[in-house]
Structure formats: C-alpha cells, structure tokens
C-alpha cells in the first residue's frame, strides 16, 4: 500500500479500508491525507455479512478500481462478482503455481529455480484470475523463506504500482476468454536462467 501511495499514480486514492483496526496501513494512509475506514471481520458471524458490510463501505467512496494489498480474507463469490473486472490482487508466486499461504515455503519444498509474484484480476476461484503482470526472481541455493520472501517482496513493490498505472491509463484489456493485453507494453526480452548456464 505504501508503495502504491509513493508511486505518484495518475489517480486519486479514495480510501484505505482494513478489516484490522490495528493495521499499520491505516496510519500510513491517514498521514498522507487519505480517508480510512475499518470493517472489522470479527464483528460479523457469517462471511457474507462481513462482505456485504465491506462492499457497502467501499461503495461509499465510489472507486473505479479496488486494489487488495495484504488483505488475507477469502472473499465470497457475490463480493468478487460485484467488482468483477475492477478488483485486483497481488500474490507472492508465479500463478497458477503455489496458491494459498506459505508460497515461499512451497517453492522451496518443490525445488523450483525461479519464483516470483503475480498481479491478477480477482475471480471467485482463490488465487486465480487473469494475469496482468508477473515478476520472476531466482531461487538461490542458500535461500530460506525469509530471504526468498524479501527478494519477491521487492518485485511486488515494483509491479503492483505498474499494474495500477496501466489500469488508470486504460491500457489494460480483459478479453472474454480471460486473457489480458496491455497496450504499448514491450515484449519481455531474454530469459532468466537459474542457475545461469555456462557460456
């Protein structure tokens, strides 16, 4: 969230809404003059009731785009469909690999050589949805969860503002078959080899 605020995006951040009254992001947002709100999930016995209250709060600010950042609640299908095509998330893996929690642990256990992060449109299927942008990092022999997470997080802070910028500039097209194109985006060049091949 702080990276999005700092990115100087061509948009107004209407509000920062959290389900945790103690979330540090609320103070960060308030410090930048951004409206904040809390919808504490612990006040609701049923998930649909929480989602309805959250949607009502979001709609108060009339956003064009809903950006999830560190939001660790599973959202109902009704909520997701309400914002379909304008609800995005970032996940710390190269989706569709390693959905759910503990993605860095999963990557290390699988022995992959490349890991990363994905910005995607949210769909009712958890950690799936049309992919807007991904970043890959090497998995190094000495990595543990913390070192790998730090390397991925640096890329998360880079690609999430980029994805939001593209959306604000109306450069992102989501086709009926669920594929994303970005107008004017350069093709990725080269390849990341991990470990590097001998020359």
Catalytic residues: 91
The Cα angle at residue 79 between residues 77 and 84, in degrees rounded to 5: 85
Q: Is 157 exposed, middle or buried (0-12, 13-18, 19+ CB in 10 A)?
A: middle
Name the token pair of 89. Answer: 């998330």
Spell out the residues 6+ positions from residue 153 whose beta carbon is closer than 8 angstroms to its own. 92
Ordered DSSP codes for 85-113: TSEEEEESSSTTSS-SS-HHHHHHHHT-S
In 3D, which of 194, 117, 101, 103 has the Cα closest to residue 155? 117
């Amino acid at each position: 969230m702080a990276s999005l605020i700092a990115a100087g995006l061509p948009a107004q951040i209407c509000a920062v809404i959290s389900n945790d009254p103690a979330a540090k992001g609320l103070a960060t947002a308030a410090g930048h003059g951004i409206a904040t709100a809390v919808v504490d999930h612990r006040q609701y016995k049923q998930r649909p009731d929480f989602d309805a209250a959250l949607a009502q709060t979001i709609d108060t600010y009339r956003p064009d785009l809903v950006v999830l950042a560190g939001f660790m609640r599973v959202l109902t299908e009704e909520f997701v469909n309400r914002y379909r095509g304008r609800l995005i998330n970032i996940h710390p893996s190269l989706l569709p690999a390693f959905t759910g929690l503990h993605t860095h642990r999963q990557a290390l256990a699988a022995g992959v050589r490349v890991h990363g992060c994905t910005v995607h449109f949210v769909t009712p299927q958890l950690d799936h949805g049309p992919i807007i942008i991904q970043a890959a990092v090497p998995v190094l022999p000495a990595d543990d969860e913390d070192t790998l997470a730090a390397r991925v997080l640096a890329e998360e802070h880079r690609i999430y503002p980029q994805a939001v910028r593209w959306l604000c500039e109306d450069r992102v097209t989501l086709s009926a078959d669920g594929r994303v194109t970005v107008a004017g985006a350069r093709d990725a060049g080269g390849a990341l080899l991990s470990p590097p091949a001998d020359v």
